[in-house]
Amino acid sequence: MTLPEITIHIYPTDCDMLGHVNHATMISFLEHARWALIEPHIPLDKALQREEWSVVRHVDISYHAQTLPGDDIVIRSGLSAMKNTSYVVRQDVRKKDTGQLVADATIVFVTVGRDGRPVRVPRDWNDILPHWPEEAAAGHAP
């Protein structure tokens, strides 16, 4: 299975005083990619009306290379695991021209109701979110 990808062009305004994309900006780029993962299945206006929401519980990110103004990066995203009230999304960021790994992240989400308490992850999310290929091939599909 091919994971959905988004491409982001890096502008000088995306960079810190050292001239490279900083941590906060990369986290924002990853969030854009996750919305792009969901939006074809649950349009934004419908997502805001749902009875359950996803909140970030834990982020684990590793950086492998700098990203500089003028670079284009490609972010892939996919479901790595699904549990009762939580799920895990994996993402990787690569330079578009070379394929060099820039960063990889694992984000754990908890699904909560409008009252803020954990609720069961909607079953349809297992079907609409693409599965991270290495996890599916290893028999760890959600």
Q: Are 33 and 44 in contact (CB under 8 A)?
A: no
Calculate the dihedral angle through the C-alpha atoms of 53, 59, 61, 67, rounding to the nearest 10 degrees.
50
- 5-137 has which CATH code? 3.10.129.10
pLDDT at 76: 96
Q: Which residues contact 61 (CB under 8 A, 6 or more apart)?
A: 23, 26, 27, 30, 103, 104, 105, 106
Residue 110 has pLDDT above 80, yes or no: yes
Residue 135 has pLDDT above 80, yes or no: no
Helices (H), ranges, the chain: 23-38, 44-47, 124-128, 133-137
Q: Give the Cα-Cα-Cα angle 63, 64, 67 (nearest 5 degrees).
A: 80
Domain edges within the chain:
5-137
Tens of pLDDT, residues 13-50: 999 999 999 999 999 999 999 988 888 877 777 777 77
pLDDT at 41: 78
